[in-house]
Structure 1
């Protein structure tokens, strides 16, 4: 897929829908918290459940994706920490969080669907769930939250998507057939997920004030959207990912800093301003990085 085609077929639909959300945020006083809660607690669990019930991703591939993603997250946190040498401790911790926590939901899922189809989306849903779990582990540990592992475990236990995946695994293992009405209800919620999370992304961007480009913000942003995809390719290959799994893994690394990083900076008294600016800058840059990676996907898929 050429760069121009990647921009038109993959990135443009994302920009258009997110742009509608941004315009709505500029025009109306929208409650971002409510919209985010709907996406996180109702729609995403339905998509996760549907994916588990219908996916053909093998257990082995799932484990390799998990291994690669954990390793890449740890490397990203280390790079973020090193990138802010000489800055206050909270800024260094915030840089580690901002570089390591990617937006594999709002950005990652739609782009994966447009670039790789349903098979790629199945892989990306698993990556998204992994990213959510690691978010509630990495950020509290980096910020030195007083709750430590206990708080991280409690945070994970509260994630509806994890419970939806657990239910899906039980249903699939036992060979249970759901009533047609239930299946259709799940499908409707799952189908609403991608448009809603793109609108949510646009609302968040539209509500953002003026961006301040400092040295640490620029460095962290480039690490997130430019360096990580370059590292993800050899890392994913080394752990055994091939074909569409490797493509989805590398594509996920080109995603911007997650808005959750900003929320957690508030929660744990991090450098909120730094993280907010990094979220905005990486989101804008990621349209270009995702287009470049998308153009390289045929070559990435041929490796092996």
Structure 2
């Protein structure tokens, strides 16, 4: 247990440090947060996707199984968040759904999976990270904008396709499938951009909190945070078992689904003019609460063997 808490502290402390510096900066200087969010969405995040797909070993059969389990878990979590928002304003209900359904499988999920399961667990967690990245950019724009202020399916699809992360994923998969190697100069440039993504994402969270102050933690934000941290892994356990996942694959899925709400959910909320206060509140509260809940999940995972 001491090792688990030490690992969580090692992972979470840099998260809080970078976000805290962003909050401090925003509290002292006027920062154009929209520009920073768009740099991350349209430049850095696509570079991260390209880098991960081209560099990570992925087995097709297990990737399909893990991806299917992820989609089922995502659907269950989105539905739970939507139910929690019944009776609330439309923008808040959409944001609650996205906050429960979009979790941090990258900068928290990957290192914790590596510590808990070694390289084999990290490889499986990377598959889930890719699935969640694609799912997030496919689902979040629809959740935030579909049917709102006259936005129809065509407009939502147009919003989705203008995100470079979507078509960069397709290009990367083609390159990998054809075993095409990019020139070293290009891959180094992509790697540099990819390395800048996570710090910028965390800074964006801090800037949001620093500019708006500590978010008002309403009852629905508490409920959404509990749903993300507690119901998330339970839903993943059922969905993973339903598609036949066993052993390490199932354990990594459950661990991934126990992560707090992703900061990218906040970036997309800002891009699509959603209820950013609600998303920021769930991101903050679920991240703080994950110190205890993720430790509990890691402790219970050996029971799945």
Same fold (TM over 0.5): yes
Which residue matches 1:138? 143
Please list the CA deviations of residues 167-191 of structure 1 after superposition, one character each: whole Å capped at 9, or x if unmatched. 1122222222222211211222222
CA distance in 2, matches of 1:201, 1:268: 16
Change (3 A) 1:288 1:14: farther
Say if 2:201 is the partner of 1:197: yes
More off after superposition, 250-259 vs 182-191: 250-259
CA distance in 2, matches of 1:77, 1:17: 28
TM-score by length of 2: 0.81
Contact 1:112 1:121 in 2 (8 A): yes
Please list the CA deviations of residues 114-153 of structure 1 after superposition, one character each: whole Å capped at 9, or x if unmatched. 2134525622133222222121233334x55633321221
Change (3 A) 1:296 1:19: farther
Contact 1:113 1:120 in 2 (8 A): no
CA distance in 2, matches of 1:261, 1:8: 23
Question: 1:128 is matched with which residue: 120, 124, 133?
Answer: 133
Alpha-carbon deviation of 1:280? 3.6
Alpha-carbon deviation of 1:88? 5.4
CA distance in 1, matches of 2:247, 2:199: 27
Contact 1:145 1:268 in 2 (8 A): no
Secondary structure, in 3 states, of the residue corresponding to 2:172? helix
Contact 2:73 2:236 in 1 (8 A): yes
Alpha-carbon deviation of 1:110? 1.3
Alpha-carbon deviation of 1:49? 0.8
Aligned pairs for 1:45-56 within 5 A: 45-56=46-57
Say if 2:213 is the partner of 1:212: no
Aligned pairs for 1:18-167 within 5 A: 18-87=19-88, 91-100=92-101, 102-104=102-104, 108-117=105-114, 119=123, 122-123=126-127, 124-141=129-146, 144=148, 146-167=150-171
Unaligned 5+ segments in structure 2 are: 115-121
Say if 2:246 is the partner of 1:250: no
Q: How many residues align?
A: 296
Alpha-carbon deviation of 1:235? 1.8
Q: CA RMSD in A?
A: 3.1
Alpha-carbon deviation of 1:160? 0.9
Change (3 A) 1:37 1:85: closer
TM-score by length of 1: 0.81
CA distance in 2, matches of 1:265, 1:186: 26
Change (3 A) 1:22 1:133: same
